[in-house]
A and B are shown apart, each in its own frame.
Chain A
Amino acid sequence: MISLRAWCMRLRELFRGEQLDRELTDELTAHLEMHLADNVRAGMQPEEARRVALLKLGGLEQTKETVRDRRGLPVLEAFLQDASYAVRSLLRSPGITLVALLSLALGIGANTAIFSLMNAVLLKSLPVRDPAQLVLFGDGLDQGISDGFPNPWLYSYPFYREMQKDNQVFSGVAAAFSMNDRIHGFVTGRHEAEPMNVQLVSGTYFPLLGVQAVMGRTLSEQDDQTEGDHPVAVVSYAWWTRVLARDPSALSRNLTIGSAVFSIVGVAPPEFFGTKVGEAPDIWIPLSMQREIPPGFHGYHDNMFESLHLMARLKPGISISEASANVNLLFQQILRGFSDAPRTPENLLKLDKTRVELNSMTTGFSRLRRQFSEPLKILMAMVGLVLLIACANIANLLLARSTARARELAVRQALGARRGRLIRQLLTESLVLAVIGGALGVAFASWATHLLLNMVSDGREPLQLHVPVDIRLLLFTLAVTLATALLFGTVPAFRATHPDLTEPLKSGRSQSGGPAKGPLAKALVISQVALSLVLLVGAGLFVRSLLNLTNVDTGFNKESVIRLRVDPGSVGYKQDARLSNLYRQIEERVGALPGVRAASFSIFTFNEGTWNNPIWVDGYLSGHRDTEVHHNAVGTGYFAAMGIPVLAGRTFGPQDTATSPKVGVIGETMARTLFPVGSPIGRRYGRGERNAADIEVIGVVKDVKYNSLDETPQPGDYLPYAQNVRYLNDFEVRYSGDAAAAVSAIREAIHDVEPQLPVSDVMTLDQQVARSITNQRLVAQLSAFFGLLAVFLSCIGIYGLMSYLVTRRTNEIGLRMALGATRPKVLWMILQESLWLVGLGIAIGVPVALTGNHLVSHLLYGLPASDPLTLLGGVSALLAIAALAGYLPARRATRVDPMIALRYE
């Protein structure tokens, strides 16, 4: 048995071969000389002494060879030799090698990257104790505050407490505010406001999840007993690292938010990102402190302030359906028991029909999932197809290569190389190719994952996702490509090293006996063409759909508008006249800047959520109660700043104050549906169930898009913030000239009015609109890339096959030309063959594309999945590119010199 030590020594000897050789020679020479000297001393003549010594000791070189064999690791050396030979032989055909490597790298990399992201968004379990026992009430998609009755998606704090007290199926229930507050706060002793993403949670939240603090403690039920007296905060590991530089004394620090001072009591573990995938909060604060966190909610005791997501842990042995029965019973009882609930007969009838759906929370929950699960699945399918095409390509290239080398192999075998040794060498070559390709793939995968995450994060808020490259998928794709390389690299090798040597030796360049490039290669090319057509047409649909979206009329003019967010709540402003005054002052100051045409605050601009209420109109007693309208509270300059055309009446002016009669401006859809007869100007309406019809319509403006570019026209109105005091954190400025200069001037003007006011999320309105179609753009860009990649790979396939066929038919072509065939005729003959392949591929691809694209029809905007123009475009583009790929080898065929070609016979 050879010990580990011996292996190590041998490994070292491997790298000191020359030196060891020299030493051995010295040693043996010394031995010989000592022997000689002894012989001479024994009385021999020098000549004889030498003869006897050499005779006895045996051959010098032979000994060296024996010793050398013992040294090092012969198997490894042979492998290294093979590998270096393989690299040289791959470099001899750099084109093929490059394409094979690229196919491998892109195939492996793209699949791994997309799967890794999909895994992070859709599949990974929450890093908490026993996530499989957790259930969520409803789907977690609704965010915000509602007073609807009944509402099985959002719950009030009193409801949470009742459910916690009365249920028999859960070992614990917890609540989390459905929105994160993106606010600003001050670390004690610092003057810069820190942006922070605050998640309000019940005291049971951390115990329910079984998450322990890495430092200090998490929140507990004691922090959430009575309102307002537990100003404590748990910070995330990332925030602790980023803002506090992992300060070990973080627990003695305080955070000032608004007018309250919170003490940091703990740091959450690094892997814990909360329960919503993609929205890692920075700070967790007990719900008992909600009034202190801007905008200062008053929901702690309000039965109808429905703003929470509820989650619970099943008792052992209880199934979701058993739990569901108990929960629904309680849901009915608790809501009926709320004395202040709007228990009209109509609402109670609705309550009878409403059921709470319990969903497994193993993987957390996320709006992200709704947004990206489908695009990711589509992209996954696309890269899967690209991987198939890449494998087909590698197969074809290696087939061509090893077939072309049949002669070389035959020669080497004839010269005495053992068959096993040759096969081992060919295997090594495929292996080297696959390993290099795999390494490139891994590098590409980690790069592509980052790129992808950046593309996805181009949404409203940066995505907080941890996306490690998925090792399992990486191994899978590596295995697939390795298997392809080995299979197609060696099967022809076995065939090529067949004992029958004479055939390839005889046939020279025109291997008439090589059937390896027959039907198999053609089938590969045909399927490549079919697959790339599917991808190309799909990509065409997505790109056109994206173009349609970007050309949608938003109703406002998105050019030359800067919008940003301010956070007056975090520097102590309450929702009162002082706040409205701040807004007015900033509007005036910024509006007076040179180059600024209009400036206004508002709650929203576009794709930032909505504030909805049912409204009712004087004179319509029924039938319109359920008409929900999107409200927005705005400044007087809003319509000018956003460029929303006024169709009738007037917009807000200085005469609309807190004490003047209430006024509103409505959109054209609202005007048309709620005031169908006569002019709406001067008519009145009320919002919410409890308000009188006290809002007078003073103007009608053009409809705008609220949340997405593809939404249908929505009814909406605008109210002056002077009459609706609340936090309006969006600020829009229409400017002319340089954007960067305008931004710094605006910042300065804001800080002239309120030096500490935090300003964030500065971007142009155009960017904001673009961000609303992030996933459409993601799909369009990536599918276009993969579609083109697929076409490119297929063309390489066609080119390779046709080149090979032309080489094989050199004699035939020469003969034809000698017999009088014209060049165009030869050209056509060859081209025809490649067009046949492409035609067949397209014929198969068209029905597949039509069927496949129906699956994505609901993701398209403004065109059907069977859009003939796109299909036609795809087919003709593919035809043109493929014809070019076939034309190049065909042209080479026409250059054949008949004399030279014939001489080969």
Chain B
Amino acid sequence: MGDKKDVWQGTLALMVLKTLEMLGPLHGYGIARRIEQTSQDLLAVNYGTLYPALLKLEQEGYVASEWGISHNNRKAKFYKLTRAGHKQLQKESREWQQTTAILERFLSAKESLS
């Protein structure tokens, strides 16, 4: 597992929001698994990074939480996207796409120069 990358700052929040948008209300473990799966296990999400991020999102009002029962009958805290969270997700994905597009152009330009 040593070769797996930790999620870097700033992107985790976006991943969490996207996950919740795709899957609906989900508990922390589910979110972590989903992110790991989507990254094809290239990313590792430990709860030292996940839970502070979730708390931050909740404080900012992008997600709301509620206690419920998981499908294997365990009591768990479920997070769901709020209306503000939807907006934030759209805004951040747009920004992120812009950033990657710029970076991509930048990197390919550099290659052609050299």
Cβ-defined contact, A63 with B29, below 8 A: no
- B28-78 residues at the A interface, CB under 8 angstroms: 28-29, 32-33, 44, 46-48, 51-52, 55-56, 58-61, 70, 72, 74-77
**How far apart are the CA atoms of A33 and B29 in the complex, in Å?**
9
Choose one: B32, B33, B60; the contact of A5 (CB below 8 Å): B60
- Is B1 located at the chain interface by the 8 A CB criterion? yes
Binary CB contact string for chain A from 3 to 45 against chain B (1 if under 8 A, 0 otherwise) = 1011001100000000000011011101101110110000000
A30-B47 CB under 8 A given contacts A3-B60, A67-B55: no
Cβ-defined contact, A24 with B51, below 8 A: yes
Choose one: B46, B60, B75, B76; the contact of A57 (CB below 8 Å): B46
Indicate the member of B27, B70, B76 with the most A CB atoms within 10 Å. Answer: B76
Choose one: B46, B59, B76; the contact of A34 (CB below 8 Å): B76
**How far apart are the CA atoms of A38 and B32 in the complex, in Å?**
13
Cβ-defined contact, B48 with A63, below 8 A: yes
A31 (CB) vs chain B CBs: closest residue: B29
Whole-angstrom distance between the Cβ of A436 and the nearest chain B Cβ = 33
Residues of B contacting A33 with CB < 8 Å?
A: 74
- Is A619 located at the chain interface by the 8 A CB criterion? no
Residues of A contacting B59 with CB < 8 Å?
A: 2, 5-6, 9-10, 70
Give the A interface residue count (CB, 8 A). 29
Residues of B contacting A35 with CB < 8 Å?
A: 29
Indicate the member of A28, A31, A56, A70 with the most B CB atoms within 10 Å. Answer: A31
- Is A66 located at the chain interface by the 8 A CB criterion? yes
**How far apart are the CA atoms of A62 and B52 in the complex, in Å?**
11
Cβ-defined contact, A28 with B61, below 8 A: no
A34-B75 CB under 8 A given contacts A28-B47, A58-B48, A71-B55: no
Cβ-defined contact, B28 with A27, below 8 A: yes
A30-B27 CB under 8 A given contacts A23-B77, A63-B51: yes
Whole-angstrom distance between the Cβ of B48 and the nearest chain A Cβ = 4
Residues of A contacting B61 with CB < 8 Å?
A: 3, 5-6, 9
Indicate the member of B28, B44, B55, B72 with the most A CB atoms within 10 Å. Answer: B55
A20 (CB) vs chain B CBs: closest residue: B55
A30-B74 CB under 8 A given contacts A6-B60, A9-B59, A57-B46: yes
**How far apart are the CA atoms of A26 and B70 in the complex, in Å?**
14
Cβ-defined contact, A56 with B44, below 8 A: yes
Residues of B contacting A37 with CB < 8 Å?
A: 72
Whole-angstrom distance between the Cβ of B5 and the nearest chain A Cβ = 14
Cβ-defined contact, A9 with B58, below 8 A: yes
- B1-24 residues at the A interface, CB under 8 angstroms: 1
Residues of B contacting A27 with CB < 8 Å?
A: 27-28, 51, 76-77
Cβ-defined contact, A62 with B48, below 8 A: yes
Whole-angstrom distance between the Cβ of A762 and the nearest chain B Cβ = 70
Choose one: A5, A10, A56, A70; the contact of B46 (CB below 8 Å): A56
**How far apart are the CA atoms of A5 and B74 in the complex, in Å?**
31
**How far apart are the CA atoms of A27 and B75 in the complex, in Å?**
8
**How far apart are the CA atoms of A638 and B59 in the complex, in Å?**
86
Choose one: B1, B72, B77; the contact of A56 (CB below 8 Å): B1
**How far apart are the CA atoms of A30 and B55 in the complex, in Å?**
17
Choose one: A2, A6, A38, A66; the contact of B48 (CB below 8 Å): A66
**How far apart are the CA atoms of A26 and B72 in the complex, in Å?**
16
How many inter-chain residue pairs (CB < 8 Å) link A and B? 74
Whole-angstrom distance between the Cβ of A134 and the nearest chain B Cβ = 58
Cβ-defined contact, B70 with A70, below 8 A: no
Interface of B is mostly: helix
Whole-angstrom distance between the Cβ of A45 and the nearest chain B Cβ = 18
**How far apart are the CA atoms of A365 and B29 in the complex, in Å?**
81
**How far apart are the CA atoms of A876 and B29 in the complex, in Å?**
84
Residues of A contacting B72 with CB < 8 Å?
A: 34, 37
A30-B52 CB under 8 A given contacts A3-B60, A37-B72, A57-B46: no
Choose one: A30, A38, A58, A70; the contact of B76 (CB below 8 Å): A30
Residues of A contacting B60 with CB < 8 Å?
A: 2-3, 5-6
Residues of B contacting A71 with CB < 8 Å?
A: 55
- A671-721 residues at the B interface, CB under 8 angstroms: none
Binary CB contact string for chain B from 76 to 91 against chain A (1 if under 8 A, 0 otherwise) = 1100000000000000
Cβ-defined contact, A67 with B46, below 8 A: no
Whole-angstrom distance between the Cβ of A600 and the nearest chain B Cβ = 85
**How far apart are the CA atoms of A3 and B61 in the complex, in Å?**
9
A30-B29 CB under 8 A given contacts A6-B59, A9-B58, A67-B52: yes
Indicate the member of B32, B51, B52, B59 with the most A CB atoms within 10 Å. Answer: B59
Cβ-defined contact, B51 with A67, below 8 A: yes
Whole-angstrom distance between the Cβ of A66 and the nearest chain B Cβ = 5
**How far apart are the CA atoms of A34 and B70 in the complex, in Å?**
9
**How far apart are the CA atoms of A400 and B48 in the complex, in Å?**
49
**How far apart are the CA atoms of A10 and B55 in the complex, in Å?**
10
Whole-angstrom distance between the Cβ of A387 and the nearest chain B Cβ = 46
**How far apart are the CA atoms of A59 and B49 in the complex, in Å?**
11
Residues of B contacting A3 with CB < 8 Å?
A: 60-61
**How far apart are the CA atoms of A451 and B3 in the complex, in Å?**
80
Choose one: A26, A57, A70; the contact of B47 (CB below 8 Å): A57
**How far apart are the CA atoms of A33 and B76 in the complex, in Å?**
11
**How far apart are the CA atoms of A721 and B95 in the complex, in Å?**
102
Choose one: B33, B46, B58, B77; the contact of A58 (CB below 8 Å): B46
Residues of B contacting A34 with CB < 8 Å?
A: 27, 29, 70, 72, 74, 76
Residues of B contacting A57 with CB < 8 Å?
A: 46-48
Whole-angstrom distance between the Cβ of A15 and the nearest chain B Cβ = 15
**How far apart are the CA atoms of A33 and B73 in the complex, in Å?**
12
Residues of B contacting A62 with CB < 8 Å?
A: 48
**How far apart are the CA atoms of A656 and B61 in the complex, in Å?**
98
Cβ-defined contact, B77 with A30, below 8 A: yes
A65 (CB) vs chain B CBs: closest residue: B48
**How far apart are the CA atoms of A26 and B76 in the complex, in Å?**
8
Residues of B contacting A55 with CB < 8 Å?
A: 1
Binary CB contact string for chain A from 44 to 77 against chain B (1 if under 8 A, 0 otherwise) = 0000000000011111001100110011000000
**How far apart are the CA atoms of A71 and B55 in the complex, in Å?**
8
Residues of B contacting A2 with CB < 8 Å?
A: 59-60
B74 (CB) vs chain A CBs: closest residue: A30
Cβ-defined contact, B77 with A70, below 8 A: no
B70 (CB) vs chain A CBs: closest residue: A34
Cβ-defined contact, A31 with B28, below 8 A: yes
Residues of A contacting B76 with CB < 8 Å?
A: 27, 30-31, 34
A41 (CB) vs chain B CBs: closest residue: B72
**How far apart are the CA atoms of A9 and B64 in the complex, in Å?**
12
**How far apart are the CA atoms of A37 and B46 in the complex, in Å?**
17
Whole-angstrom distance between the Cβ of B62 and the nearest chain A Cβ = 10
Whole-angstrom distance between the Cβ of A11 and the nearest chain B Cβ = 11
A35 (CB) vs chain B CBs: closest residue: B29
**How far apart are the CA atoms of A178 and B27 in the complex, in Å?**
85
**How far apart are the CA atoms of A2 and B28 in the complex, in Å?**
23
Residues of A contacting B44 with CB < 8 Å?
A: 56
Cβ-defined contact, A30 with B75, below 8 A: yes
A6 (CB) vs chain B CBs: closest residue: B59
**How far apart are the CA atoms of A10 and B75 in the complex, in Å?**
25
**How far apart are the CA atoms of A9 and B63 in the complex, in Å?**
13
Residues of A contacting B47 with CB < 8 Å?
A: 28, 31, 57-58, 63
**How far apart are the CA atoms of A885 and B19 in the complex, in Å?**
77
**How far apart are the CA atoms of A796 and B76 in the complex, in Å?**
64
13 additional contacts, CB 8 Å, given A3-B61, A26-B77? A6-B61, A27-B27, A34-B72, A34-B76, A37-B72, A55-B1, A56-B46, A58-B47, A66-B48, A67-B51, A67-B52, A70-B52, A70-B59
- Ordered nearest first, which 8 A-B pairs have the shortest CB separation? A34-B29, A6-B59, A58-B48, A58-B46, A31-B29, A63-B48, A30-B76, A9-B59
Cross-chain pairs A/B with CB under 8 angstroms, 30 sampled = A2-B59, A2-B60, A3-B60, A5-B60, A6-B60, A6-B61, A9-B59, A9-B61, A23-B77, A26-B75, A28-B51, A31-B28, A31-B47, A33-B74, A34-B70, A34-B74, A35-B29, A37-B72, A56-B1, A56-B44, A57-B48, A58-B47, A58-B48, A59-B48, A62-B48, A63-B48, A66-B48, A67-B55, A70-B55, A71-B55
